[in-house]
Structure 1
Amino acid sequence: MNDTATPGFSLERELDRHWRRWVAVAWLVIAAYWLYQRWGGITWLALSDTDDNMRLMQVRALLAGQDWYDLRQYRMNPPEGFDIHWSRLVDLPIAGLILLLKPLIGVAWAERIAVGVAPLLPFGAALAAIAVTARRLIAPVAWPLAIIFLFGCTATLLMFMPLRIDHHGWQLACLAWTVAGLADRDGARGGMTVGVSSAVSLTIGLELLPYCAMAGAIVTLRWVWARDEAARLSRYALALGTGSATGFLLFASHANRALVCDALTPVWLSVMVAAGVLLALLARTSPTTRTTRLALAAGAGAIIVAGFATLFPQCLGRPENVSPELYRLWLGNVREAKPIFAHPLRVTIPLAAVPVIGLIGAVVSAWRTTDPTRRTGWVAIALFTAFAVAMLAWQVRAGPAAQLLGLIGATSLAWRVLPRLIEHPSIIVRVGGSVAAFMLLSGLFTGLVIRELRIDPPSRRAQVVSAANRRCAGLASLRLLDRQPAGLMFTHVDLGPRLITTTHHDAVAGPYHRNGDAILDVHHAFSGSAAQAQQIIARHHASYLLTCPNMAETTVYRVRAPDGFYSQLVAGRVPAWLRPVKLPAGAPYRLWRIDHSGMAEADVPRRSELNGGTNL
């Protein structure tokens, strides 16, 4: 478009030519609103998720001088601590913000601002990727509609909210750029984008490993279908192999250099490097016939699978490699690890709406487009979205990624439908039809439906549990515990990370599979007899026993063991070796000091100075 040919201001021209500027403006406006909206939570350091609390503790440890490659959390199950399977990559922006702000506002407020701002950084990266994909596949000025439709992806947006400092936001940003790479007409650039984003995602964690594998399969299938896709496959292979190796060398902890299955360890590094080498060879040879290319791709896949099964048989099951007992008592009961059909309708409807609509939109767009290159991109997006919808039947934690992948297809469908409704001669259709279509295709209708029809509302018991979870994790409540001398608290698994983040006390366990023995100890203690609990607690040299009545985890103990130790405490049957500690009125906890009078002097618990204190 020539400026001299169309003088004056044109919104369409502005959104096309200066889209980067306006995406940045959109990010700044949304970020400012979110910070304003969540300022109360930032002020109270309301890190509601256990992983967010542990991430902050990991950053504190790094800033306190803990070794770059030592990701052991020494304030959990001290003095040995336990390894966290994450990497330091996501710690960097949080630590950088704290270091930048600390001289100006002090450590406590620097932490608060950092945990508020840090999640907005991957959100900006994701917005840019969404805009790029919309421009490539839908229309140059369709990107604002895609950003608006993003607000129907409620599960996705939660991963970018202030205080959500765990790594999921960064992985979703990587996934958004993977989609942008698949939609790129420039094969070499697109392949490089997919390879780099996959390598970064794997360096952060393995949560999106299935999506990375699917992206690689789509890139390979494009080459099978069209020989001129060799440049895309070659650059993808190079970026995946070298990027994964670089991520491993820079960020893999000491513990992750063993042959374990739950992170980017030598196990998965071998797979990525081997895949990169084999795919690069395929791209280099590129036989002329499609059948030959398909046979070679299948052979490469078979080599990788057979090699993995032969060299790393311990990783053929779940990557956590937990014991059957730990899976039965704990991991198998984690809600986000259950399939979507195991959840109430108030969860499943909002979670599945955008992915399903997006899949329909991607299929329609692939069918209706007349541009062969764009059709190839839409086929790739349709395959990816279909895969994401299928993943929901495995674990509901796939929801944020599935919504993100469905976004572009849903936007494309609206881009086709809304103009026809807006231009309709009937005002009823123009207004009512447009609003209804917008609400339906964006997924925003789900919240209204559930609220107005009262679909599957939470029970009174669920409301009580939710209130207890909030109160027991609240900073005001936890500060009451700091009135007691510092010590090791034997408490619920889900309370452990929050406890060590906000108080000077240590905890025995947190909900992390590498902490499996300690998790089992907590479950055995609360579900077994009082005598068994005494033995377990004494073995950990705990100073206190802390419970939070009605917290979600406690319902497991009461149902599983109605006459177990926890149920006895609730009924007021407290053994003599527990001495009640008086807490202020309104405190949501019950606290006892443990009588260690029978313990030898050598059994006095030791405390590590690493990960030091709190900054509250």
Structure 2
Amino acid sequence: MSTADDGASIWRSDIALALLATLPALAVNALAGFPELTNAGGDNDNLLRLVEVRDMLASQGWFDLHQYRMGLEGGFVMHWSRLVDAPIAAIIIAVSALTGSAAFAENVAQVLWPTLLFCLTVFFTARAARSFAGDSAVLPAVVVGAAALYFIGIFSPGALDHHNIQLMLSMASLSLLLEAPMRRPAALLSGLCAGLMLAVGMETAPYVATIGASVAMLFALGANGERLIARDFGLGFAGVSALVFVATIAPSAWGQAQCDAFSTVQFVVAAIAGTGLAAIASIEPAGRTRQRRIASLGLLALLLGAVVVLLFPQCLAAPYANLDPRLKELWLDHIDEAQSLFKLLAEDPAGVVARYATPLIALVLMALRLGRGGWRRQDSLVGALLVVAFIVSAWQVRGSTFSIAFAVIPLAAWIAKWRQRAEASASRGVALRMAAVWLVSVNAVWTGAAAATSVAFDDSNTTADNGDGTDVACQRMASFAALGRLPGTTVLAISNLGSPILAYSGHRVFAGPYHRNVAGNLLALDAFLGSDADARTVVADHHVGLVALCPGSAESKLLAAKAPAGFLAGLMRGSVPEWLEPVAGTSGAAVELYRVRLGN
């Protein structure tokens, strides 16, 4: 059998393993009835992505990213990418054409899209583990990786947000780079994946930069074959960035610099970095010696730095540096995924174990590899990404999604080594050690232990219901049914009700948990934290027809505590001003509705 045939056979085997790992996850969700489709669990982004796709299918322009039903009149421009909307919309169009039901098509898309991404991520994890530690690491990578990906939650049914595709692309880029010395097109495809990561969202900028810097460093140090890898990676990265820029940015916006979304800033940086790397790798005098390679790449880095400092200095500030202090205090500081490791240590030690245990073990394993000597190309790539992901996760918890996934690769190698020892020895001690290695490598074990510990030592009720099925946190579709039956109007509601109201009704809202919706969020705060008279002014000036209240929401309680004499606090105490009247049938419901009296 030829080498090409061997490669194809291995690919088929890895795909089969990924599918086998995906089917149990899908079956578990199916047996549960896909509850996420009617209960978003408080994930506003998944719901708003669905709204964005619906708007596009309803003829909103490809380049028009306004969310017209959120914020002040006219809405605001979202920072998301159409690259994620397009495949979801394609699934809905195809299934609608086959079944004639748009609602059923949406449900299929909400299940199929994250399932496909789950399968692809497991596949690339297996490929990366094979390149890192050989064939024996593939099975552990599939088992440990599938368990980790399932329990981090970003691949659940209904997960339409972009974090899952970002993780898949990052694992694909890493896997392809690990294969690049053996497979010629791999480096080009890795650069393409890195460019798409950046285009989908700026959260992955640290990982894109790490991958690019690793490619450049390996080339600079002069390892065999790295010149062609650097050239192809650079071409793929710059090329796809140019295509994305033309395909997703309106020509009228080509000169606009946006720091939080793919725009001329990211395109210029990607074009210079990618073409510069490819040029240095292609021009023989520039790459002839190590000193020349280092000097050439150093000049490229200086050029990139100068471009950013001189042309886009605003993008050097912290992501939320200019956010209104009230929004920082009452919104950003309470977003779970935006908290730091140190805050989590103080407030939720069990959560630290669930999110950081396996990445820490993987870091120790990589450090031991470094200490033993024989550091390899594969170690540099995996180690760099793991370290950066862990640093990001220490800054914001959301980074743990990536560190948990990258940790699977060294953990799979560790398990593979102990499996080989167990096969070579009949010792009971070796078998027990192998079992222990398996257990501590599975993130779900740590998550379960952390959850059990949390329950044992915390008797407070932090669930989304009261134990009797009541939707206290207002997360279920059914809780918005009454609102959905009312004629369309503007609804005054807290920010965490914004996306559900848009997804489950035809109304519009002011507030939503998005950093670009500053004016709408501040207006809602003015109404809720102010007096009844202040709220009445907002209602009259902005033609509000309904007020929606979720008494059990943590956000409602936070705002009521912030302004005990305010409009929202009064509503929660049952003090309804004369210009409002309860909507029949909603008193005492999860979402209580109040209609603005005409003429008041």
- Structure 1 length-normalised TM: 0.88
Q: Counterpart of 2:45?
A: 51
In the alignment, the residues of structure 2 paired with residue 309 and residue 471 of structure 1 have an alpha-carbon distance, to the nearest angstrom, of 44
Question: Which of 538, 549, 552 is 1:550 aligned to?
Answer: 552
Q: Counterpart of 1:181?
A: 176
Task: Indicate conservation of the 8 Å contact 1:362/1:412, yes or no.
Answer: no
Q: Aligned pair 1:247/2:248, yes or no?
A: no
Task: Indicate conservation of the 8 Å contact 1:346/1:456, yes or no.
Answer: no
Report SS of the residue matched to 2:420.
helix
Q: Which moved more, 1:265-274 or 1:360-369?
A: 360-369
Q: Aligned pair 1:299/2:293, yes or no?
A: no
Report SS of the residue matched to 1:163.
coil
Q: Aligned pair 1:200/2:201, yes or no?
A: no
Task: Indicate conservation of the 8 Å contact 1:489/1:506, yes or no.
Answer: yes
In the alignment, the residues of structure 1 paired with residue 445 and residue 509 of structure 2 have an alpha-carbon distance, to the nearest angstrom, of 43
Q: Aligned pair 1:134/2:129, yes or no?
A: yes
Structure 2 unaligned regions, length at least 5: none
Q: Counterpart of 1:315?
A: 315
Q: Which moved more, 1:161-170 or 1:437-446?
A: 437-446
Task: Indicate conservation of the 8 Å contact 1:471/1:477, yes or no.
Answer: no
Q: Counterpart of 1:158?
A: 153
**Would the alpha carbon gap of residues 378 and 43 (structure 1) be closer, same or farther in structure 2, given more than 3 Å must change?**
closer
Q: How does 1:173-572 map onto structure 2 within 5 Å?
A: 173-184=168-179, 185-186=181-182, 188-226=184-222, 228=224, 229-252=226-249, 257=254, 258-285=256-283, 286-319=286-319, 322-325=322-325, 326-343=327-344, 344-365=348-369, 375-421=376-422, 423-427=424-428, 429=429, 431-454=431-454, 460-463=460-463, 472-572=474-574
Task: Indicate conservation of the 8 Å contact 1:354/1:406, yes or no.
Answer: yes
Residue type matched to 1:297 in 2?
L
Q: Which moved more, 1:316-325 or 1:266-275?
A: 316-325
Task: Indicate conservation of the 8 Å contact 2:529/2:563, yes or no.
Answer: yes
In the alignment, the residues of structure 1 paired with residue 320 and residue 291 of structure 2 have an alpha-carbon distance, to the nearest angstrom, of 38
**Would the alpha carbon gap of residues 581 and 255 (structure 1) be closer, same or farther in structure 2, given more than 3 Å must change?**
farther
Residue type matched to 1:383 in 2?
A
Residue type matched to 1:264 in 2?
F
**Would the alpha carbon gap of residues 100 and 34 (structure 1) be closer, same or farther in structure 2, given more than 3 Å must change?**
farther
In the alignment, the residues of structure 2 paired with residue 322 and residue 382 of structure 1 have an alpha-carbon distance, to the nearest angstrom, of 34
Report SS of the residue matched to 2:54.
helix
In the alignment, the residues of structure 2 paired with residue 452 and residue 67 of structure 1 have an alpha-carbon distance, to the nearest angstrom, of 49
Task: Indicate conservation of the 8 Å contact 1:578/1:592, yes or no.
Answer: yes
**Would the alpha carbon gap of residues 14 and 118 (structure 1) be closer, same or farther in structure 2, given more than 3 Å must change?**
closer
Q: Counterpart of 1:8?
A: none
Residue type matched to 1:240 in 2?
F
Render the CA deviation track for 1:240-275: whole Å, top value 9, x for unaligned. Answer: 111111111112357964212111111111111111
Q: How far did residue 345 of structure 1 move?
A: 1.5
In the alignment, the residues of structure 2 paired with residue 108 and residue 60 of structure 1 have an alpha-carbon distance, to the nearest angstrom, of 11
Q: Which moved more, 1:586-595 or 1:231-240?
A: 586-595
Task: Indicate conservation of the 8 Å contact 2:491/2:510, yes or no.
Answer: yes
Q: How does 1:58-137 map onto structure 2 within 5 Å?
A: 58-77=52-71, 79-103=73-97, 104=99, 106-137=101-132
**Would the alpha carbon gap of residues 119 and 369 (structure 1) be closer, same or farther in structure 2, given more than 3 Å must change?**
farther
In the alignment, the residues of structure 1 paired with residue 147 and residue 34 of structure 2 have an alpha-carbon distance, to the nearest angstrom, of 24
In the alignment, the residues of structure 2 paired with residue 25 and residue 295 of structure 1 have an alpha-carbon distance, to the nearest angstrom, of 46
In the alignment, the residues of structure 2 paired with residue 316 and residue 111 of structure 1 have an alpha-carbon distance, to the nearest angstrom, of 39
Residue type matched to 1:530 in 2?
D
Q: How far did residue 575 of structure 1 move?
A: 2.0
In the alignment, the residues of structure 1 paired with residue 205 and residue 456 of structure 2 have an alpha-carbon distance, to the nearest angstrom, of 33
Report SS of the residue matched to 1:509.
coil
Residue type matched to 2:445 in 1?
F
**Would the alpha carbon gap of residues 532 and 585 (structure 1) be closer, same or farther in structure 2, given more than 3 Å must change?**
closer
Task: Indicate conservation of the 8 Å contact 1:497/1:510, yes or no.
Answer: yes
Task: Indicate conservation of the 8 Å contact 1:59/1:91, yes or no.
Answer: yes
**Would the alpha carbon gap of residues 28 and 73 (structure 1) be closer, same or farther in structure 2, given more than 3 Å must change?**
same
Task: Indicate conservation of the 8 Å contact 1:410/1:441, yes or no.
Answer: yes
Render the CA deviation track for 1:187-244: whole Å, top value 9, x for unaligned. Answer: 8534313311111111211110111011111111101111641111111111111111
**Would the alpha carbon gap of residues 423 and 564 (structure 1) be closer, same or farther in structure 2, given more than 3 Å must change?**
farther
Residue type matched to 2:233 in 1?
Y
Render the CA deviation track for 1:519-545: whole Å, top value 9, x for unaligned. Answer: 111122212222222222323211011
Q: Which moved more, 1:320-329 or 1:332-341?
A: 320-329
Task: Indicate conservation of the 8 Å contact 1:52/1:166, yes or no.
Answer: yes
In the alignment, the residues of structure 2 paired with residue 583 and residue 256 of structure 1 have an alpha-carbon distance, to the nearest angstrom, of 48
For the aligned residue pairs, the C-alpha RMSD in angstroms reads: 2.9
Task: Indicate conservation of the 8 Å contact 1:499/1:506, yes or no.
Answer: yes
In the alignment, the residues of structure 1 paired with residue 251 and residue 476 of structure 2 have an alpha-carbon distance, to the nearest angstrom, of 34
Q: Which moved more, 1:47-56 or 1:35-44?
A: 35-44
Q: How far did residue 448 of structure 1 move?
A: 4.0
Report SS of the residue matched to 1:114.
helix
Q: Which moved more, 1:585-594 or 1:251-260?
A: 251-260
In the alignment, the residues of structure 1 paired with residue 390 and residue 446 of structure 2 have an alpha-carbon distance, to the nearest angstrom, of 17
Residue type matched to 2:378 in 1?
G
In the alignment, the residues of structure 2 paired with residue 15 and residue 421 of structure 1 have an alpha-carbon distance, to the nearest angstrom, of 28
Render the CA deviation track for 1:432-476: whole Å, top value 9, x for unaligned. Answer: 433222101233431343244447855525336898766512122
In the alignment, the residues of structure 1 paired with residue 197 and residue 15 of structure 2 have an alpha-carbon distance, to the nearest angstrom, of 27
Q: How far did residue 79 of structure 1 move?
A: 4.2
Q: Which moved more, 1:140-149 or 1:432-441?
A: 432-441
Residue type matched to 1:307 in 2?
V
Render the CA deviation track for 1:279-338: whole Å, top value 9, x for unaligned. Answer: 223213444443442233233212211220111122121345643323333223322112
**Would the alpha carbon gap of residues 117 and 379 (structure 1) be closer, same or farther in structure 2, given more than 3 Å must change?**
same
For these two proteins, the number of residue pairs brought into alignment is 585
Task: Indicate conservation of the 8 Å contact 2:356/2:404, yes or no.
Answer: yes
Residue type matched to 1:124 in 2?
C
Identity over aligned pairs, percent: 27
**Would the alpha carbon gap of residues 487 and 13 (structure 1) be closer, same or farther in structure 2, given more than 3 Å must change?**
closer
Task: Indicate conservation of the 8 Å contact 1:83/1:255, yes or no.
Answer: no
Task: Indicate conservation of the 8 Å contact 2:471/2:479, yes or no.
Answer: no
Structure 1 unaligned regions, length at least 5: 3-11, 599-616
Report SS of the residue matched to 2:594.
strand
In the alignment, the residues of structure 2 paired with residue 21 and residue 237 of structure 1 have an alpha-carbon distance, to the nearest angstrom, of 28
Render the CA deviation track for 1:339-368: whole Å, top value 9, x for unaligned. Answer: 122121221111111211222333445666
Report SS of the residue matched to 1:89.
helix
Q: Which moved more, 1:123-132 or 1:585-594?
A: 585-594
In the alignment, the residues of structure 1 paired with residue 9 and residue 373 of structure 2 have an alpha-carbon distance, to the nearest angstrom, of 23
In the alignment, the residues of structure 2 paired with residue 21 and residue 566 of structure 1 have an alpha-carbon distance, to the nearest angstrom, of 53
**Would the alpha carbon gap of residues 190 and 369 (structure 1) be closer, same or farther in structure 2, given more than 3 Å must change?**
farther
Task: Indicate conservation of the 8 Å contact 2:39/2:475, yes or no.
Answer: no
In the alignment, the residues of structure 2 paired with residue 220 and residue 456 of structure 1 have an alpha-carbon distance, to the nearest angstrom, of 50
